[in-house]
Amino acid sequence: MANEHGNGKRGQSALEFLATYGWMLLVVVLVLAVIFGLGILNPSSFAATVCQLPNGLQCQSWLLSSNGLLTITIAQYTSSPIMITSVNCNSNKSSYYGAISTTTNIGVGSSAAFNLYCYSGTTKFTGSIGTVYTGYISVNYTSQSTSVSHTAIATAVLKVMS
């Protein structure tokens, strides 16, 4: 009988051990669910914003609003003044849907600001604060010294900030 009674105590100890760790595991899962639910550990909240234009042009500053409006300042450091003829923001690299036409002259070392909407294909982008937009910014410009037209395409990873 002593062996059976001893096994009962071991069984009770094992059950208490599993119950204790079960409750602890449940609490950890609930805490992680709350943390992820609040966005504290949301990977997109750690995403770096990028606007990388080819040599000679630079994205100096940018702000993407929840309605898709992008305010961007483009600086140019080419060897001669340029005239920007259009600017576009689209998730499709080869799409010029939503491009704004302009005739903005920018001197060497100078910059200009543009307001345009970002698109996902043919649909205007919208997103809540913290949402990440990934796409391309196309800048069509003409060198004023050579009259040669160029297209510069920036890779853009932009976070909605307002």
What residue ranges do the domains of the chain occupy?
2-41, 47-159
Query: What's the pLDDT at 43?
Result: 59
Among the listed residues 112, 90, 93, the one whose alpha carbon sits nearest the alpha carbon of residue 103? 112
List CB contacts of 144: < 8 A, sequence separation 6 or more.
Answer: 80, 81, 82, 83, 105
The region, left, alpha or beta by phi > 0 then psi within -120 to 50, assigned to residue 143 is: beta
Query: What's the pLDDT at 1?
Result: 46
Query: What's the pLDDT at 83?
Result: 94
Terminal C-alpha separation, the chain? 74
Phi and psi angles of residue 58, each rounded to the nearest 5 degrees, phi first? -145, 135
Query: What's the pLDDT at 146?
Result: 93
The region, left, alpha or beta by phi > 0 then psi within -120 to 50, assigned to residue 68 is: left
Ordered DSSP codes for 62-106 = EEE-TTSEEEEEEEE-SSS-EEEEEEEEESSTT--TTPEEEEEEE
Query: What's the pLDDT at 67?
Result: 95
pLDDT lower than 50: segments of the chain:
1-2
Which residue type occupies 122? T
Class of domain 47-159: mainly beta
Give the residue carrying structure tokens 């805490």: 31
Query: What's the pLDDT at 52?
Result: 85
CB 130 within 8 A of CB 161: no
Decide: pTM greater than 0.85.
no
CB 87 within 8 A of CB 112: no
Q: Supply the mean pLDDT for the chain.
A: 85
List CB contacts of 34: < 8 A, sequence separation 6 or more.
Answer: none
Query: What's the pLDDT at 57?
Result: 93
